[in-house]
Amino acid sequence: MKKSILIFGLIVLVGLAAMCATPGSNQQPVKTPSPEPSPVGEILVNEKNSLNGNSYRSYPMALAKGSKVKFSYETLDKDDFDVYIISSPQHNYLTFYGISNTKKNTQYLRFYSGPKSEFEFTFPGDGLYYFVVHNTNNFQAQYYYTAILSSGEKLSKYQYVISEGSNVSISKDGWRSYATSLQKGEVIHIYYKVRQNEYRNLFARMYVLDSNGYKSFTISPADYSGRTLLYSTNERERDYEQLKWTAPEKGNYYIVFRNVDSPQALRFDYKIYKQY
């Protein structure tokens, strides 16, 4: 009887062992694949978006000199886009004159055309820059866009430079103008300096005009007597002038520099900007 019970117990144990065993239990455990490492650096932009045909979107970034950013974009249906990096003066030109004129006159810091691209760009100086995505097709298209700051730093204070120049020449009785669009209450700073000496600065005139005033001015600068939103001539001993002006309403404005009664051309430096 005891022998029968012992045999029965062994059979039960063998059965339980068979039930608990799993196929391949003598193999090494399968390792779970490790997730890919996240991109190093701060993510400036990471989005999926769409653009109507023949339209663009710009992404601002204020960065210190030498900063490096990794850019990548891809259209969902392999549609060709134009993508480029521009400075704030070129962005001002883009917003004022439109995308068609910009392609003729813009100095791109980086340009690519196609359905997909990935590259790293080193920014040449402190300032505000724009990455522009332009849908050159006649239909709406979707795209992915990512920008990662791989080294360097963002600027907490910076300038949106509307236009600037060095050793610019204005002929005798000539003039130059620079245009921008402003919202009501926006403030612009205007700096200019005549290079020859402080006395020649007396021949320089600076005006801020609205669209109607500028149109009349271009017809006959010498006879212009219309609305002048800001007027400046430097009668002080210093050879430069620094001004600040607030737009009274939303609109297009023109900053005009004019050479008045000088016996020769004037060479001057200037900078028109917004401060942030």
Q: Which domains does the chain have, with CATH numbers?
A: 42-151 (2.60.120.380), 159-275 (2.60.120.380)
The reported pLDDT for the residue numbered 93 is 94
Distance of CA 1 to the CA centre of its chain: 93
pTM: 0.81
* Mean pLDDT value of segment 155-178: 96
When pLDDT is averaged across residues 31-54 and rounded to a whole number, the result is 73
Q: Which is higher by pLDDT, 227 or 21?
A: 227
Q: Could you tell me what percent of the chain has a pLDDT over 90?
A: 72
Low-confidence winner among 90-104, 148-162, 168-182, 248-262 (lowest mean pLDDT): 90-104
Nearest by Cα to 248 from 178, 183, 181: 183
Of 11-25, 61-75, 130-144, where does mean pLDDT reach its minimum? 11-25
**pLDDT score of 37 more than 90:** no
**Beta carbons within 10 angstroms of residue 27's beta carbon:** 7
